[in-house]
């Protein structure tokens, strides 16, 4: 969501951060992989050809890159990381801790976190309603 607003470098750094988040508890599960693939499609063909699904060894540099970014960019990145973390019905404390640590480093307050989380829930609800409508 809104990943097209990111620059080429921001898109690549975001994908790296997303891979780190889904890997905190092991390999990405089926749902996480599907959401990552949707996000990969959203960032565009030019990024797809450049990106490699491999963890970089420079997580701290990636986080610092976003800490220095504009507030709007940090919010977009955090929103999409929440989408990945909440893509399945399982609550993963390692991903939650990873997100909370990023939230603090990104300077995202509780109010903004709740607003972003509501967007994720609204998107999920809409997708579920659409499924019900087309199947009945």
Query: Could you tell me which residue, 39 or 126, shows the higher pLDDT?
Result: 126
What pLDDT, on the 0 to 100 scale, is given for residue 77?
Answer: 97
Residue 66 burial (C-beta neighbours within 10 Å; 0-12, 13-18, 19+):
buried
What pLDDT, on the 0 to 100 scale, is given for residue 35?
Answer: 76
What is d(CA 78, CA 18) in angstroms, rounded to the nearest whole number? Answer: 10
What is d(CA 9, CA 122) in angstroms, rounded to the nearest whole number? Answer: 29
Q: What are phi and psi of 60, to 5 degrees?
A: -60, -40
**E strands, the chain, in order:** none
Cα–Cα distance list, 133 to 28, 88, 124, 136 (Å): 30, 21, 14, 6
Query: Could you tell me which residue, 114 or 86, shows the higher pLDDT?
Result: 114
Please check whether residue 12 is in contact with residue 50, taking contact to mean a CB–CB distance below 8 angstroms: yes
What pLDDT, on the 0 to 100 scale, is given for residue 45?
Answer: 67
> Taking residues 125-133, what's their average pLDDT?
91
Report the range of poorest mean pLDDT among 2-16, 19-33, 114-128: 19-33
Can you give the pTM of this predicted structure? 0.86
Query: Could you tell me which residue, 41 or 102, shows the higher pLDDT?
Result: 102
Structural domains for the chain: 3-135 (1.10.3680.10)
Q: For residue 34, what is the enclosing H or E element?
A: helix 30-43
23-77 per-position pLDDT tens digit = 887 777 777 777 777 777 788 767 766 666 666 778 899 999 999 999 999 999 9
User: What angle, rounded to 10 degrees, do the helices at 71-85 and 110-135 form?
Assistant: 50
């Amino acid at each position: 969501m809104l990943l097209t607003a990111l620059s080429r470098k921001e898109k690549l750094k975001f994908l790296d951060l997303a891979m780190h988040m889904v890997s905190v508890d092991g390999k990405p599960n089926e749902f996480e992989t599907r959401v990552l693939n949707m996000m990969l499609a959203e960032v565009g063909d030019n990024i797809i050809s450049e990106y490699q699904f491999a963890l970089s060894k420079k997580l701290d540099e990636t986080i610092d890159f976003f800490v220095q970014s504009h507030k709007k960019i940090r919010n977009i990145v955090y929103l999409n990381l929440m989408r990945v973390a909440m893509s399945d019905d399982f609550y993963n404390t390692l991903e939650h801790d990873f997100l909370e640590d990023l939230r603090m480093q990104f300077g995202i307050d509780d109010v903004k976190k709740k607003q972003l989380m509501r967007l994720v829930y609204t998107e999920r609800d809409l997708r579920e309603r659409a499924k019900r409508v087309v199947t009945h």
